[in-house]
Amino acid sequence: MSSIYQQALGPAFARLHPQVQRRFGFSSADGIASIGTGRMDEVWRGPAYTLPFLAVGAWRHIMFPATGRDVPFRIENYAYIDGLGRETVTWVRTFVLPGRRRRFDATMIYAERRGCIVDYLGTHQHLAVDIHPSVDERGGLRLRSGEQRFYEGPIAFRFPLLFSGVADVHEWFDDATQRFGIEVVVTNRTWGRLFGYRGWFTAAWPSCPRDAVPPHVRPIREERRE
């Protein structure tokens, strides 16, 4: 079974750095996970008027208003088949900031009907975001967000980007340091820069059968709609 990133990138997947291919080339059939640990040089947020938006996101593990430098970081990528039968990859990011830990949770699937990855943000998959991957000049993976949709019970609507952010995620491998680099920038076309972080991590690939994915990385609720 191909990973969701192989499906989304097609032949371009082969242009990724070999270590980046390893990070994003496994599926639930492989029985492994990718666990990264490192430090973020900076975790930042936008001006004071973005605080209410970030505070609401923190309630469901979608961004947060805290900031810091040299922040201990962990990223957990598990591949599994969700309750709806979809190949799914977790992106659970934990930041150890002064006074408390903060999380930024997401689960991704490849939606053939939409022709892209769909990223469900937060603990309840309320927000479904189209993700368009590409390969950068250093063999890194770039993920850029597009259309966003809000789902809650019978309610479903296209979420206006005026009230949300566009995410740019870059991940690459540095041969000199033998570490992965990551930079995330979330912006709004009206309010400017909302949230982001940049830093490094090293990765391990522990064994993990598809039925052994830890509950803490899985969403509380799964959304059928893409």
User: How is the chain split into domains, by residue range?
Assistant: 4-217
DSSP tag of 225: -
Residue 194 tokens read as 């909302």
Contacts of 19 (CB under 8 A, 6+ apart): 173, 180, 203
Q: Is there a contact between 33 and 158 (Cβ–Cβ < 8 Å)?
A: no
- What's the pLDDT tens digit per position in 53-80? 655 554 455 766 788 999 999 999 999 9
Specify which residues 188 forms β-bridges with: 192
Average the pLDDT over 10-34 and give the result: 97
Q: Is there a contact between 166 and 190 (Cβ–Cβ < 8 Å)?
A: no
Residue 121 tokens read as 């943000």
Give the integer Cα–Cα distance in Å for 116 and 109: 9
Average the pLDDT over 83-89 and give the result: 97
Instruction: For residue 12, report the phi and psi dihedrals to the nearest 5 degrees.
Output: -65, -20
pLDDT at 2 over 80: yes
Give the integer Cα–Cα distance in Å for 79 and 31: 8
pLDDT at 50 over 80: no
**Res. 137 pLDDT band, cuts 50 70 90:** very high
Return the percent helix, strand and coil in the chain, to nearest 5: 20, 50, 30
Return mean pLDDT, the chain. Answer: 90
Which residue's structure tokens are 């490849």?
Answer: 110
CATH number of 4-217: 2.40.128
